[in-house]
Amino acid sequence: MIVHADLDAFYAAVEQRRRPELKGRPIAVGGAGPRGVVMSASYEARAHGVSGGMPTVRARRLCPELVTVPPDMDEYAVVSANVMAVLHSFARRVEPVSMDEAYLDLAGVGMRPRALAEVLRRRVREEQDLALSVGVGPTKLVAKLASVAAKPDGLLVVPPAEVEAFLRPLPASRIPGVGPKTTEALTRFGLLTVGDLADTPRDTLRRIVGAAAGDMLTHYARGEDARPVVPQSVEKSLGGERTFPADVSPEHEVIRTTLLGLAQQNAARLRAAGLAGRTVTVKVRFADLRTVTRSRKLPEPVDLAHDIFAAALPLFAGLVPARARIRLVGLRVEGLDGGARPTQLALGERETGWSELERTVDRVQAKFGPAAVRPASLIGKFGGPGNFSGPKVVDRSERRVEGRPERATAHAPRQSKNPG
């Protein structure tokens, strides 16, 4: 049997856990500006129709009392690691899917599936004060659908003999990979439930949604899923990006501080995972929504913000015309492997430097929190660790307004002094 464990409203739940005044209130983790997007919504907010991926402006219309909280990815990574450690203590084969969900293969585990699932939920509740929904089934597909059906804060076990009865009434859109367009195509032919798909010939489904998708739907509708639980694999890349509250010019100070902040965040994540990357990629989205990227392969794998930032700056400069208006900047590190290689010191070079400094910062932040120490150029620039949404962006480039130059100033909405 396979277990699918899924933390409920993960980012929002972590924020409610560490800020008790937010418990029971509708909150959304994400950007607060006019271009902000909801990353996670508490169940109190979901009751008003707020959901992940929704523009924050629309979320506030649906729920005027919504509290918006900036994301703290460093904190979420720590909490996720703690939860994954609990899962690994019960099964040898654990496959994390994201920060907040994972599959466990119960082969060789000496506990009954329901008993194990109950212990998992209790351990996560007691140790992390978070709700864990768990689904158990003979395949990854059934386990995943069972955990979705169990939400919030529930447990559902689907034995092999009950798979067909469990699947048939479910909406066809519950099948993984069935998005809005596929759902629309199926609906036109009256295929609304998983049972409808199971009763439809494979060739018909292939004609409706294409050969590959038709084959997948045929297997999934019958509960057939041969995918094994694959233990955690090494990430191929990691990164982040920031959408500015208003378009900025290439020479704006916020470009440099954003790239530095992203480099710091990426480097810390690399070192925490024991990884290093060979390729640095910068992404830029312009005001007209055109998006471009440029990459540079480094001579050796790196895991220091100093090296990542040094590679990112010239990449950005080579991407952006002088008069461009920039909407978003992103930074990724790719080609990851198992840690930075030792470097050969040049004659007269100091034996200690950026590596020792950044690893010392890691230890301080681990003990006192991500905000305990950071580069001076980032102090006051951003709202919090892992959050690149400062209270104000001032663009000092010049525009022509009615034939005269005028300083263009763009402001993000003022943050509440009492977010609780």
What distance in Å separates the CA atoms of residue 2 and residue 159, rounded to the nearest whole number?
A: 11
Q: pTM for the full model?
A: 0.64
118 flagged as catalytic: no
pLDDT of 219 higher than 90: yes
CA 321 to chain centre: 30
Name the more confident of 137 and 35. Answer: 137
Residue 286: what residue type?
F
pLDDT tens-digit readout, 356-392: 555 565 555 455 445 544 555 444 444 433 343 333 3
Which two structure tokens, joined as six digits, stand for 110? 């000496």
Q: What is the mean pLDDT of the chain?
A: 81
**Closest C-alpha among 113, 110, 166 to residue 5:** 113
- With beta carbons less than 8 A apart as the criterion, state whether 109 and 90 touch: yes
Band of residue 411 on the pLDDT scale cut at 50, 70, 90: very low
* Secondary structure (H, E, C), the chain: CEEEEEECCHHHHHHHHHCHHHCCCCEEEECCCCCCEEEEECHHHHCCCCCCCCEHHHHHHHCCCCEEECCCHHHHHHHHHHHHHHHHCCCCEEEEEECCEEEEECCCCCCCHHHHHHHHHHHHHHHHCCCEEEEEECCHHHHHHHHHHHCCCCEEECCHHHHHHHHCCCEHHHCCCCCHHHHHHHHHCCCCEHHHHHCCCHHHHHHHHCHHHHHHHHHHHCCCCCCCCCCCCCCCEEEEEEEEEEEECCCCHHHHHHHHHHHHHHHHHHHHHCCEEEEEEEEEEECCCCEEEEEEEEEEEECCHHHHHHHHHHHHHHHCCCCCCEEEEEEEEEEEECCCCCCCCCCCCCCCCHHHHHHHHHHHHHHHCCCCCCCHHHCCCCCECCECCCCCECCCCEEEECCEEEECCECCCCCCCCCC
Condensed to tens digits (0 to 9), the pLDDT of residues 113-153 reads: 999 999 999 999 988 889 999 999 999 999 999 999 999 99
Task: Give me the pLDDT at residue 362, please.
Answer: 56
Reported confidence tier of residue 353, pLDDT bands at 50, 70, 90: low
Angle 178-184-186 from CA coordinates, rounded to 5° = 75
Is the pLDDT at 319 greater than 50, yes or no?
yes
Q: Please pick, among 15, 101, 356, 398, the residue that the annotation labels catalytic.
A: 101
pLDDT of amino acid 131: 93
Query: How far is 34 from 56, CA to CA, in rounded Å?
Result: 7
- Looking up tokens 């055109």, which residue turns up? 290
Higher pLDDT, 54 or 342: 54
pLDDT tens for each residue of 152-199: 999 999 999 999 999 999 999 999 888 889 999 999 999 999 999 999
Backbone angles phi, psi at 287, to 5 degrees: -60, -30
Distance CA 139, CA 227 (A): 8
